Amino acid sequence: MDDISPAATAQAWLDRLEAALAARDIPAALELFGPECFWRDMVAFTWNIRTFEGREAIGGMLAATLARVAPSRWRVSGMAGEADGAVEALVEFETALGRGRGHLRLRDGKGWTLLTTLRELKGHEEKRGRTRENGVEHGIARGRRTWLERRQEEERELGTSRQPYCVVVGGGQGGLALAARLRRLGVPTIVLERNARAGDNWRRRYKSLCLHDPVWYDHMPYIPFPDHWPVFSPKDQIADWLEMYARIMEIDLWTSSTCRSARFDEATHAWEVEVEREGRMHVLRPRHLVLATGMSGMPVMPDFPGMAEFRGTQHHSSAHGSGEAWAGRRCVVVGSNNSAHDICADLWEHGAEVTMVQRSATTVVRSETLMAYSWSHLWSEDALERGITTEVGDILAASMPHRLVPRRAIPLHERIRAHDAEFYARLEKAGFMLDFGEDGSGISAKYARRGSGYYIDVGASELVIDGRIALRSHVEVERIAPHGVVLSDGSELPADLIVYATGYGSMNGWAAKLVSQEVADRVGKCWGLGSATAKDPGPWEGELRNMWKPTRQEGLWFMGGNLAQARFFSLVLALQIKARHAGIDTPVHAPQEVHHLA
């Protein structure tokens, strides 16, 4: 048995699974799984995004979905090997309605983790490759319309004489990625962007902002960045790329357009969306409304006593532009996560006198170390040379259930701490409150649990260590005085500028603002796993709450996350909307429970 290849081992297991599922023999299928097992499904079986932990949960899912789904043609597809004592392989399969892809891990010959994701709907495939449109009709014809004329007519009609099936609020990477997918699937979609140009949500941020994720991780769907693109992209370069992307992908983007309100009509099963566009009001009536406002909700402005009496300038970090105007002046930044560090560094570079107020511990990992120990496995030139393309990397990243992420992340961060021990010793000596998460699982777990609480160090930590950025930690803000910030130890920090890098609320805050508080409460909290850690209350969900999947409000969806999540989950969400557009029955198995309202 030792000479059987990982691919053959995985295929033999898939063959047994296929036989059991074809016979509707759920007990036989469950016997193929080990005592610890996970089946993570993205739409293919459940029309949902769910992870089923243990044989009993997997059996319940199969009992509810198997007859309808009729899975078949399970096969190993491409990469197979062994890692950490497990055989693993990329897989493909079919269902009655579509084609899927995924990933399998076996331990001791038994199923450990299985990922199934829907890739396309039969009869509704994207036109690509051999099925691409010809683009021209050769010959002579009177009245022929050019591509530009057809495109201009479509832009004039959509939203006026012809209603969109879907409206996406937000023209950042998430909204544009989803709209590109929907256009390829033939779903009429309008994206509403309140700024004048696509990419302005990046352009208008502070000047020094750049991506902290590497380029291989950040491609948009269909059009990867060119191979000369910098490893860490400046925000204005990303902005220009998004503007280009919207044009090239023929996205129906309404710029200078603000969604003022939205109401769902239970009788017609459609939304009534009021849009102010270039000073005029429009009403759109889509079936589906997607809030693509980022992974975060409304900026959280603190309510410290005395803020109204402050005689300088104060604003949230989301409104911060550049440190140029603050040379030689005193600036206080309240917060210690990514934005706080970036803004402190920007102010210092422009000659300001900067103090960071750290109120709680923060996870810090140097960018170079994170690249070497974490990202490079899936997102690097080395990974590409090993055959891990962006698509393969996406599947491998999605294949690990959230329950298992800390188990792998804890030893990873222990190695990181050992590698950068001297750096962390100097940071703590400067008074910085450092942590690696409540269980030591670090940045990736914090990101999924709360979307905050960390800094990927691109230089600001050294400014803190040597005092160029002054640090006040182990304190709270007591109140704001007319000329500064009074801390809980009684000291006062003089300030001409106060920046509140105090984070964002849940995305359902946008639902409350645009639709109603009732609908926001019906949907509940967005993001978080239910890990029962800080800012991520239980019970355990196992998937990010309400993201890219059906919510408890018909026709309302949330699209958020970083560029990699925009790329991957835009297809997951687009297929769910396309199925409804095509009139396909989409019974949602195990819909999202609502335990928390914000």
Q: What pLDDT was estimated at residue 210?
A: 87
Residues 6+ apart with CB under 8 A from 98: 44, 118, 119, 120, 121, 122, 575
The residue type found at 389 is T
Q: pLDDT above 90 covers what percent of the chain?
A: 89
Residues 6+ apart with CB under 8 A from 391: none
- Is the CB of residue 450 less than 8 Å from the CB of residue 468? no
Q: What pLDDT was estimated at residue 298?
A: 80
Dihedral through CA 74, CA 75, CA 76, CA 77, nearest 10? -110
- Identify the band that residue 96 occupies on the pLDDT scale cut at 50, 70 and 90: very high
Per-residue pLDDT tens for 339-385?
999 999 999 999 999 999 999 999 999 999 999 999 999 999 999 99
Please give the Cα distance from 216 to 567 (Å, whole number).
12
Closest by CA to 67, choosing from 587, 576, 449, is: 587
Q: What pLDDT was estimated at residue 228?
A: 95
Per-residue pLDDT tens for 57-81?
999 999 999 999 999 999 999 899 9
* Cα dihedral across residues 399, 405, 408, 412: positive or negative: positive
- 3-state SS assignment for residue 160: coil
Please give the Cα distance from 407 to 176 (Å, whole number).
34
Between 166 and 293, residue with greater pLDDT:
166
Whether omega before 587 lies within 30 degrees of 0, making that bond cis, reads: no
Q: How many CB atoms lie within 10 A of CB 475?
A: 16
CA angle 103, 107, 110 (to 5 degrees): 85
Closest by CA to 363, choosing from 459, 470, 444, 466, is: 444
- Is the CB of residue 356 less than 8 Å from the CB of residue 470? yes
| Residue 31 in this model has a pLDDT that exceeds 80 | yes
- 3-state SS assignment for residue 169: strand
- Identify the band that residue 296 occupies on the pLDDT scale cut at 50, 70 and 90: low
Q: What pLDDT was estimated at residue 173?
A: 95
Please give the Cα distance from 512 to 485 (Å, whole number).
32
Q: What pLDDT was estimated at residue 144?
A: 84
Q: Which of 132-141, 232-241, 410-419, 523-532 has the lowest mean pLDDT?
A: 132-141
- 3-state SS assignment for residue 199: coil
| Residue 529 in this model has a pLDDT that exceeds 50 | yes
Q: What pLDDT was estimated at residue 552?
A: 97
Helix (H) or strand (E) holding 356: strand 353-358
Token digits of residue 291: 């809030």
Please give the Cα distance from 212 to 380 (Å, whole number).
14
Q: pLDDT above 70 covers what percent of the chain?
A: 99
Mode of pairing for the β-strands spanning 470-473 and 353-358:
parallel
Q: What pLDDT was estimated at residue 295?
A: 63
What mean pLDDT value characterizes the chain?
A: 95
| Residue 478 in this model has a pLDDT that exceeds 90 | yes
Q: Please state the three-class secondary structure of 460-484 as a single string.
A: HHHHHHCCCCEEEECCCEEEEECCE
Q: How many CB atoms lie within 10 A of CB 262?
A: 24
Q: What pLDDT was estimated at residue 208?
A: 78
Residues 6+ apart with CB under 8 A from 23: none
CA angle 500, 505, 510 (to 5 degrees): 120
Q: DSSP letter for 250, please.
A: T
Q: What pLDDT was estimated at residue 1?
A: 42
Q: Average of pLDDT values for 125-131?
A: 93
